[in-house]
Amino acid sequence: MEHQIADIQYCEHLFNQFYDIGSTESGGVTRLGYTKTEDRMHDMFVKLGSSLNLRSYQDQVGNTYLANSADDGYYLIGSHLDSVIEGGRYDGVAGIIAGLMVMKWAAEDGLKLPIRIGAFRCEESSNFGCCTVGSGLITKEAYKQDIGGLVSKEGETLEEVFKKNGYSLHPAKITGIKQYLELHIEQGKVLEECQTSVGIVTTIAGPRRFNIYLRGMAEHSGATPMSMRYDALCAAAEIILEIERIGKKEAAYQSVATVGVVTNHPNVLNVIPGEVELGVDIRGIEVSSLNRMERDMKEAAKQICKNRGIEYLDEKIGDIPPIGMSDSVELGLERAAKRLGISSRRMISGAGHDAMSFANICETGMVFIPCLKGISHNRAEFTSILSICDGARVIYEYLKGEAV
């Protein structure tokens, strides 16, 4: 659809206000969760809200909200303002900008609907190794276990950070939400390749994560004959390829499997690798597929280690089940896009989002917008201002339908 110049300019203005915060020399941004840089993003969010005459407040874990009404039964438009290390400027921020645009339009049109925008803390796992901390804590969904002991990149525990800021690791559960809506960049190439303007998310794939520990024998690389070795890294190499095969086998169910972390000890040129840790991330939208992948991975890894005389241990470090979005919100967003003449398609989200935290406590919907070549978590991440306007318009059009 054609956007008004004023909308494009406002969108650009919002984007530019956040631009410099956490900028790095390489051209990206580092805005880690629960750091001073993330605080500055939230301060800017509040400032932008006050220029729209919105009331701002923080909850017990530092999430920041802007509200156009104190009424319960509000529509919460949310996303996050933190980033990965050397990340891009659109992941999370695009959703917050969309929320501000919706608020502006609602005010201009005198739309009678209670709307709030939520900026959730520490959505990325880059600082504490744990994702959706802010939204997970207040919805009581993600973290049944105590996460206070998690340690930041700076070596502080989450508990210490919370204490310093007056936050609580056991906050009251958020109440009064009628629906949760989130705009996010796709972080994949589907929309771009299909030349579709927006994606309506049906299911968010659940990440299941493991550490695998392999112990062989660190010995002299020159003095140990090939037949007498217990090389943990060679076992790891076989396991990595096996996990790739398992992922490909389950691709028909839209599942994926990745070994993203390899830690090799002692990682020295003239020593046979004695110990290796692997970080495995499997995701899918069907629990049966995830279960098969987990079983096959463990069986294969154990067999590989047995054949090589390597000690094997695995540990599940995360398990968020795949979660469906609300059918009626999906349909509503799809119809809204159609009314505006914006092309849309239903799709799954391979990446996790704050929406996962809300889907079990209220009706939840997500709108994806394309990002260049699917690149994300990278300084080259890019989406156009027009795409943000498209997605924001779809959400606003949907909310207009809710107001009548």
**Nearest distance, CB of residue 354 and Zn ion, angstroms:** 8
Phi, psi of 347, deg, nearest 5: -160, 165
**Nearest distance, CB of residue 121 and Zn ion, angstroms:** 13
The first and second tokens of residue 255, run together, are 């599942």
Q: In this complex, which beta carbon is closest to Zn ion, that of residue 91 or of residue 296?
A: 91
3-state SS assignment for residue 357 = helix
Q: In this complex, which beta carbon is closest to Zn ion, that of residue 91 or of residue 397?
A: 91
According to CB under 5 A, which residues from 90 to 109 bind Zn ion?
91-92
Phi, psi of 317, deg, nearest 5: -110, -5
> Rounded distance, CA 255 to CA 247, Å?
7
**Nearest distance, CB of residue 288 and Zn ion, angstroms:** 27
Query: How far, CA to CA in Å, does 133 sit from each of 58, 61, 122, 130, 139?
Result: 15, 9, 5, 7, 10
Q: In this complex, which beta carbon is closest to Zn ion, that of residue 83 or of residue 197?
A: 83
**Nearest distance, CB of residue 186 and Zn ion, angstroms:** 11
Torsion angle of alpha carbons 182, 87, 31, 69, nearest 10°?
Answer: -20
Q: In this complex, which beta carbon is closest to Zn ion, that of residue 59 or of residue 91?
A: 91
Q: Which residues of 251-287 are buried (b: 16+ CB within 10 A; e: fewer)?
A: eeebbbbbbeeeebbeeeeeebbbbbbbbbbbbbbbe
**Nearest distance, CB of residue 120 and Zn ion, angstroms:** 10
Phi, psi of 323, deg, nearest 5: -135, 130
- Is 188 near Zn ion (CB under 5 A)? no
According to CB under 5 A, which residues from 56 to 95 bind Zn ion?
91-92
Q: In this complex, which beta carbon is closest to Zn ion, that of residue 235 or of residue 356?
A: 356
364 - beta bridge partners? Answer: 180
Q: In this complex, which beta carbon is closest to Zn ion, that of residue 216 or of residue 391?
A: 391
Helix then strand count (H, E) for the chain reads 11, 13
**Nearest distance, CB of residue 19 and Zn ion, angstroms:** 17
Chain contacts with Zn ion (rule: CB under 5 A):
91-92
